[in-house]
Amino acid sequence: MTKRINFNDVQPSAYDAMDALDKFLDDSTIDRLHREFIKIRASQINGCAYCVDSHSHDALRLGESLQKVLLISAWREAKNVFSEEERLLFRITEEITLIHQHGLSDEAYQQAIQVFGEEKTAQIIMAIVTINAWNRIGVATELRPPHRKRNLVSTN
């Protein structure tokens, strides 16, 4: 396998533009943990191992339980684990990430407006769009998660 380009080295302006989107989201009203949930779910769908790894660790550092992080891919079946708001975030994330299937449904959109309001819904959409762009960069350039020497779970 040949090493692929590092966008930050080859196209620093493009990388800076992506960082600007992240900065916008850092200043948004979306809860930090919910932003990580969006990133994890989209990254799972897109098969971006680097982002799944990175954002799962970020969620754990923010204090989320390992159980919840591990169950994100099975959120529909884990009804007792995720709040209705989190479940809606996952639904919207999936519909936008898989936009070629049927787009963001009217039902999910209207529910988002009712639950989050217009401004936060716009921020959520932007968060989903941004992580999808990062995922495409990560998969196209074959970013790999770092080898971690420590396990996530203590054996004590």
150 within some domain: no
125 within some domain: yes
Name the nearest CA neighbour of 89 among 131, 61, 53, 50. Answer: 131
Residue type for 123, please? Answer: Q
> What's the rounded mean pLDDT across residues 81-89?
98
149 within some domain: no
| pLDDT > 60? residue 96 | yes
43 within some domain: yes
Range of the domain at 71: 12-140
pTM, two decimals, is 0.91
| pLDDT > 60? residue 35 | yes
> What's the rounded mean pLDDT across residues 135-146?
93
111 within some domain: yes
145 within some domain: no
154 within some domain: no
Integer angstrom CA distances of residue 113 from 8, 106, 107: 36, 10, 10
The CATH number of the domain holding residue 60 is 1.20.1290.10
**pLDDT grade for 155, boundaries at 50, 70 and 90:** very low
pLDDT at residue 152, as a whole number: 59
132 within some domain: yes
> What's the rounded mean pLDDT across residues 17-43?
97
| pLDDT > 70? residue 154 | no
d(CA 70, CA 23): 27
CB contact at 8 A, 126 and 32: no
| pLDDT > 50? residue 151 | yes
pLDDT at residue 8, as a whole number: 83
Count of domains observed in the chain = 1
pLDDT at residue 156, as a whole number: 38
